[in-house]
C-alpha cells in the first residue's frame, strides 16, 4: 500500500440504497486497515444522514452502483454524490459487486474479532446493505491496489446512533467544530477559532484523526466517558505522570497508526519480473514500516515504566493489555533477528534512505550486500563532487541537499555568486535567497545512486518476506498498540495539555446522568475564551419540567454566542474532557440539532426561507427525547406574522417532547409561551445602556395568562425541584431535609393563597 505521508483522508467509501430509502455504507480506512459499516433509513429528501457520514469520513474514493433502483421521488445517492462530491473520485461498479452474502463471508474471514462478537449471526439481515457495500469496497481495493487483505486482520465496527452522538453536517458548520465560518476569506491564521484547531496539540497523525472523529461523533456511554475523565483527574493531580507521558509519547513515531496497513495487506508474490525500479517505491514503504514498528516497540518498555503504578481504570487497562503483553517482546525479538539493532526511524530524507538500505543485517543476502556497496560508492562520489565544486569554483557555502523525488542537488546562496553562474551548472532555479541547481556529473551519479537504492529496497523486501508473515500472525496486538497510542495522544497531548495551560479551576470535570438536568454554572465559550480575556460567563438549567429556554435580547447582546457555548460545552463533556464552567451536569445527548443564520443556498436552488424551512423540517422529523436543539432566529426570512406562526408552532411541538431546547428570538410575542406552558423559561440578555432598559414583554396580556395558568406553573416548579433531588449526588439526610423544606414551602404558599 502506498503512503500519503500526511494527515489527509485515506477512506474508500461504498454506498448503496434500496427503494425504501434505506442506505448501507462501508468506509474502509487504508491507513489503519479498519472497516466501518453503517446502515440507516434516510429520513429527509436531502439525504442529510448520508451527507453527515460523508462529511465525517471525507473519502478519497466513493464507490456507487448504477442509479437504476433509486426511487422516482428522490435524487438517490448516486445523484447526491454527483452534486455535492464532484471533486472526489467516483467509481461505478455493477450491482452484482454489491453482494451481501459475499460481504458477510468476507467480514467473517477478514475481521480480527469473532463473528459472534460482531453480531453478524444475529443481525445479518439487518446489516445486509452495508455488507453489500463492504463487498464492493473490498473488491475494488484489492483490485486497484494489487493487494490481498490478510485473514483476521481488519478492525470491523458496526456504527450506529447507539454508540455516538449524531451531529448533522449543518450543525458541524454552525458550531464551528472543525472549521470556522468564512475560513477561506479570513485565512489560515483564523483556524484557531474552530474547536478542533483549538484542541489540536496532538503529536501523532492518528491522535489528530481520533480527536476529529470524537468531536464529530462524541460518546454516549457514560462509563466510557467517566473512564476518560478519571484518567484526566489522575493526570491533573500527578504532574510526574503527566510530564512523563508527554516525554514518552514523543519517542513513538507520529505515523505509528499508519504502519498497520502494511501488515494487514499482502502484495503479490515477489518474482524476478517484479524486481524492477517501478516496484522500488512500494518496497521502500514496506521497509520503512518495519523500521517504524521496531522504533515503536523499542519505546514500549519506557511507556511500561511510566504506567506501572497508575490508578485510573483506563491507564491501568492500557498497562495490563499492552505493557504486560508478552507478544510485543516476541515480535521485537523476531524483528531483531533480521533488522540491525542500530536502525531507527528517521525523518531526514537521506538518513531515512540510508537506514532503509542498511535495515537488514549484513550477510543475509549476497545481492543486497552488493547493492549496498554500490549505494555507498555513489553516495561518497556525490559528496566528493560537491567538495571539488567548492574548491574549483570558489563556492565555500555550496550545500548538497537531498529530496526523495529529486535526489541530490546543489544549493548556493545568491550573495556568494559573483557575476554569472558557471556553465557547468544546469537546471538552475531561484528559490528565495538561494539558487538550486545540478550538473551533468551529479545527474549521472544521482541516477546510479537511485538505482542502487531501488535494488536495496527490493532485495530487502525479499529478505523480509518471512518476517512479514510472522508479524501478520500477531497483527491484532499491533492494532491494539496503535489504538492505545492514539487515545493516549488525544487525552494527554490534547485534553490534559489544554487544561494545564488554563488557570486553576477554569476547566472542571462534568457530571453525567441518564435523565437528569442540563445544568451549567458560569459556563464560557471555549473558543472565544481563548481569544478574549474579558468573556462574561453564563448559566443554563434545563430539566424535564423546564425543558425550553427562550433567549431574548437586542442585537449583539451575545445570544448566538450563548447558543454555541451550550452546544460546545456538551460536546466537550461527551468526548471525555473537562469543560469551561464552574460546575456542569449533563444529560447524555443522542442527537444535536442547530438552526442558525439566514443565507441563500445557490447549490440547491433554495432561497433563504426555503433553506430555513428545510433545516427546520429535518429537525422536527428526526428529533428524539434525548436530543439537544438550538434554534436561532427562526422565521426571520418571511413576513412577521408568518414567521411568528412558524416559530410558535415549532415551539409547541418541541414542548410536547422531553427534548431540551434553547430558542433565541427577537419576536417579543414568543415570550407569551412562558405564561401558557410552565415548562418554558425566559432568559433575557441585557446590554449596558444609559437610562435605558429593553423589555419585550406585553405586560397586560402576560398578567392575564399568569393568573390563568398559575396553579399548573406551581405544580411544575415543585416537579422540577423533585427531579433535581432525584438525580443529585447528596447524602440521604441532606435530601430528606430538602424534601421537608419543599413540603413546608408548598404548605405555606397554599395557606397564603
Element (H, E) at 39: strand 34-41
Q: How confident is the model at residue 277, as a pLDDT? A: 47
CA dihedral 466, 467, 469, 470 (to 10 degrees): 120
Distance CA 479, CA 259 (A): 10
Q: The dihedral of CA 717, 721, 722, 723: what is its sign?
A: positive
Mean pLDDT, to the nearest integer, of 337-358? 90
Round the CA-based radius of gyration of the chain to a whole number and report it. 31
User: To which residue does cell 435530601 refer?
Assistant: 735
HSE-CB at 622 with a 13 A cutoff on CA atoms is 26
Residue 351 confidence class, pLDDT cut points 50, 70, 90 = very high
9-161, what's its fold? Answer: Nucleotidyltransferase; domain 5 (3.30.420)
Tell which residue, 577, 470, 565, has the closest CA to residue 520: 565
Q: How confident is the model at residue 273, as a pLDDT? A: 47
Residue 45 confidence class, pLDDT cut points 50, 70, 90 = low
Q: What's the mean pLDDT when you consider all of the chain?
A: 83
Collapsing DSSP states into helix, strand and coil, what is residue 631?
strand
* The pLDDT of residue 259 is above 80: no
Q: How confident is the model at residue 696, as a pLDDT? A: 35
Residue 605 confidence class, pLDDT cut points 50, 70, 90 = low
The residue with greater pLDDT, 201 or 415, is 201
Tell which residue, 561, 637, 556, has the closest CA to residue 598: 637
324 exposure class (CB count in 10 Å sphere: 0-12, 13-18, 19+): exposed
CB 33 within 8 A of CB 154: yes
Q: How confident is the model at residue 711, as a pLDDT? A: 67
Residue 623 confidence class, pLDDT cut points 50, 70, 90 = confident
Q: pLDDT digits over 105-131, tens only?
A: 998 888 876 655 555 655 566 678 999
How many Cβ atoms from other residues are within 10 Å of residue 144's Cβ? 11
Q: Judge: domain 222-350+459-498, CATH 1.10.1420.10.
A: yes
* The pLDDT of residue 411 is above 80: yes
Q: How confident is the model at residue 85, as a pLDDT? A: 82
Distance CA 583, CA 508 (A): 7
* The pLDDT of residue 185 is above 50: no
Q: Which three cell numbers stand for residue 384?
A: 566528493
Q: CATH assignment of 509-703?
A: 3.40.50.300
Tell which residue, 621, 585, 593, has the closest CA to residue 166: 593
CB 422 within 8 A of CB 391: no
Mean pLDDT, to the nearest integer, of 582-596? 91
Percent of the chain topping pLDDT 70:
86
The residue with greater pLDDT, 353 or 85, is 353
Q: pLDDT digits over 643-658, tens only?
A: 889 889 989 898 888 8
CB 408 within 8 A of CB 401: yes
User: To which residue does cell 412562558 refer?
Assistant: 674
Contacts of 390 (CB under 8 A, 6+ apart): 396, 398
Q: How confident is the model at residue 701, as a pLDDT? A: 39
Contacts of 544 (CB under 8 A, 6+ apart): 515, 658, 679, 723
The residue with greater pLDDT, 14 or 656, is 14
Percent of the chain topping pLDDT 90:
37
CATH of 363-456, one of 1.10.1420.10, 3.30.1330.30, 1.10.230.10, 3.30.1490.20: 1.10.1420.10
Domains 222-350+459-498 and 363-456 share a fold: yes
Any idea where the domains of the chain sit in the sequence? Answer: 9-161, 222-350+459-498, 363-456, 509-703, 712-746
Residue 699 confidence class, pLDDT cut points 50, 70, 90 = very low
* The pLDDT of residue 81 is above 60: yes
CA dihedral 259, 468, 136, 119 (to 10 degrees): -80
Q: pLDDT digits over 465-497, tens only?
A: 888 888 888 888 888 898 899 999 999 999 999
Q: How confident is the model at residue 69, as a pLDDT? A: 45
605 exposure class (CB count in 10 Å sphere: 0-12, 13-18, 19+): exposed
Q: How confident is the model at residue 347, as a pLDDT? A: 84
* The pLDDT of residue 399 is above 60: yes
Residue 688 confidence class, pLDDT cut points 50, 70, 90 = low
326 exposure class (CB count in 10 Å sphere: 0-12, 13-18, 19+): exposed
What is the total residue count of the chain? 753
Distance CA 333, CA 474 (A): 13
DSSP 8-state symbol, 395 = -
* The pLDDT of residue 546 is above 70: yes
Collapsing DSSP states into helix, strand and coil, what is residue 442?
helix
Q: pLDDT digits over 87-100, tens only?
A: 889 999 998 999 99
Mean pLDDT, to the nearest integer, of 525-545? 85
**Which segments within 462-572 are labelled E, that is strand?**
511-513, 518-523, 538-542, 548-552
Amino acid at each position: 500500500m502506498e503512503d500519503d505521508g500526511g494527515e489527509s483522508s485515506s477512506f474508500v467509501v461504498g454506498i448503496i440504497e434500496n427503494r425504501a430509502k434505506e442506505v448501507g455504507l462501508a468506509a474502509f480506512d487504508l491507513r489503519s486497515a479498519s472497516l466501518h459499516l453503517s446502515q440507516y433509513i434516510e429520513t429527509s429528501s436531502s439525504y442529510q444522514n448520508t451527507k453527515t457520514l460523508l462529511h465525517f469520513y471525507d473519502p478519497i474514493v466513493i464507490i456507487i452502483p448504477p442509479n437504476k433502483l433509486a426511487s422516482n421521488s428522490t435524487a438517490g445517492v448516486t445523484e447526491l454524490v454527483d452534486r455535492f462530491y464532484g471533486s472526489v473520485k467516483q467509481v461505478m461498479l455493477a450491482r452484482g459487486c454489491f453482494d451481501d452474502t459475499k460481504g458477510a463471508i468476507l467480514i467473517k474471514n477478514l475481521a480480527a474479532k469473532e463473528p459472534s462478537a460482531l453480531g453478524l449471526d444475529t443481525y445479518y439481515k439487518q446489516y445486509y446493505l452495508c455488507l453489500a457495500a463492504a463487498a464492493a469496497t473490498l473488491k475494488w481495493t484489492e483490485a486497484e491496489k494489487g493487494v490481498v487483505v490478510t485473514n483476521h486482520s481488519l478492525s470491523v465496527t458496526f456504527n450506529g446512533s447507539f454508540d455516538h452522538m449524531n451531529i448533522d453536517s449543518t450543525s458541524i458548520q454552525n458550531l464551528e467544530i472543525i472549521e470556522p465560518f468564512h475560513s477561506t476569506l479570513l485565512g489560515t491564521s483564523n483556524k484557531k477559532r474552530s474547536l478542533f484547531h483549538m484542541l489540536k496539540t496532538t503529536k501523532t497523525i492518528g491522535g489528530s484523526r481520533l480527536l476529529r472523529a470524537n468531536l464529530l461523533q462524541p460518546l454516549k456511554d457514560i462509563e466510557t466517558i467517566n473512564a476518560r475523565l478519571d484518567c484526566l483527574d489522575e493526570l491533573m493531580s500527578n504532574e510526574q505522570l503527566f510530564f512523563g507521558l508527554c516525554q514518552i509519547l514523543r519517542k513513538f513515531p507520529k505515523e505509528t497508526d499508519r504502519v498497520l496497513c502494511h501488515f494487514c495487506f499482502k502484495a503479490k508474490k515477489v518474482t524476478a519480473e517484479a524486481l524492477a525500479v517501478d516496484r522500488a517505491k512500494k518496497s521502500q514503504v514496506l521497509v520503512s514500516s518495519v523500521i517504524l514498528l521496531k522504533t515503536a516497540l523499542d519505546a514500549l518498555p519506557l511507556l511500561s515504566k511510566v504506567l506501572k503504578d497508575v490508578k485510573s481504570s483506563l491507564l491501568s487497562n492500557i498497562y495490563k493489555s499492552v505493557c504486560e503483553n508478552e507478544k510485543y517482546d516476541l515480535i521485537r525479538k523476531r524483528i531483531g533477528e533480521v533488522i540491525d539493532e542500530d536502525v531507527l526511524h528517521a525523518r531526514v530524507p537521506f538518513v531515512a534512505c540510508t537506514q532503509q538500505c542498511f535495515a537488514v543485517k549484513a550477510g543475509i543476502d549476497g545481492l543486497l550486500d552488493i547493492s549496498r556497496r554500490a549505494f555507498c560508492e555513489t553516495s561518497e562520489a556525490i559528496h566528493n563532487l560537491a567538495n571539488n565544486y567548492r574548491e574549483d569554483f570558489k563556492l565555500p557555502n555550496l550545500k548538497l541537499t537531498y529530496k526523495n523525488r529529486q535526489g541530490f542537488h546543489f544549493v548556493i546562496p545568491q550573495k556568494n555568486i559573483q557575476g554569472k553562474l558557471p556553465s557547468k551548472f544546469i537546471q538552475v532555479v531561484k528559490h528565495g535567497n538561494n539558487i538550486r541547481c545540478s550538473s551533468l556529473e551529479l545527474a549521472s551519479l544521482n541516477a546510479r545512486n537511485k538505482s542502487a537504492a531501488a535494488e536495496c529496497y527490493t532485495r530487502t523486501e525479499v529478505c523480509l518476506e518471512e518476517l512479514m508473515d510472522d508479524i501478520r500472525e500477531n497483527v491484532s496486538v499491533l492494532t491494539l498498540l496503535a489504538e492505545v497510542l492514539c487515545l493516549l495522544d488525544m487525552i494527554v497531548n490534547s485534553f490534559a495539555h489544554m487544561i494545564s495551560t488554563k488557570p486553576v479551576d477554569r476547566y472542571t470535570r462534568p457530571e453525567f446522568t441518564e435523565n437528569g438536568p442540563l445544568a451549567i454554572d458560569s459556563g464560557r465559550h471555549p473558543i472565544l475564551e481563548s481569544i478574549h480575556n474579558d468573556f462574561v460567563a453564563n448559566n443554563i438549567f434545563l430539566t424535564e419540567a423546564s425543558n425550553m429556554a427562550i433567549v431574548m435580547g437586542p442585537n449583539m447582546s451575545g445570544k448566538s454566542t450563548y447558543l454555541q457555548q451550550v452546544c460546545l460545552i456538551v460536546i466537550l463533556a461527551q468526548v471525555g474532557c473537562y469543560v469551561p464552567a464552574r460546575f456542569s451536569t449533563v444529560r447524555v445527548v443522542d442527537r444535536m440539532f442547530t438552526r442558525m443564520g439566514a443565507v441563500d443556498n445557490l447549490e440547491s436552488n433554495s432561497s433563504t426561507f426555503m433553506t430555513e424551512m428545510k433545516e427546520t423540517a429535518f429537525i422536527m422529523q428526526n428529533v428524539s427525547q434525548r436530543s439537544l436543539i438550538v434554534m436561532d432566529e427562526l422565521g426571520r426570512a418571511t413576513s412577521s406574522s408568518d414567521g411568528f406562526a412558524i416559530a410558535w408552532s415549532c415551539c409547541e411541538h418541541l414542548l410536547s417532547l422531553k427534548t431540551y431546547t434553547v430558542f433565541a428570538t427577537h419576536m417579543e410575542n414568543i415570550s407569551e409561551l412562558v405564561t401558557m406552558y410552565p415548562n418554558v423559561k425566559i432568559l433575557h440578555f441585557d446590554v449596558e445602556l444609559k437610562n435605558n432598559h429593553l423589555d419585550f414583554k406585553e405586560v397586560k396580556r402576560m398578567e392575564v395568562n399568569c393568573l390563568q395558568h398559575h396553579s399548573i406553573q406551581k405544580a411544575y416548579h415543585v416537579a422540577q425541584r423533585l427531579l433535581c433531588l432525584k438525580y443529585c449526588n447528596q447524602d440521604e439526610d441532606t435530601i430528606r431535609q430538602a424534601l421537608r423544606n419543599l413540603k413546608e414551602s408548598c404548605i405555606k404558599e397554599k395557606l397564603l393563597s
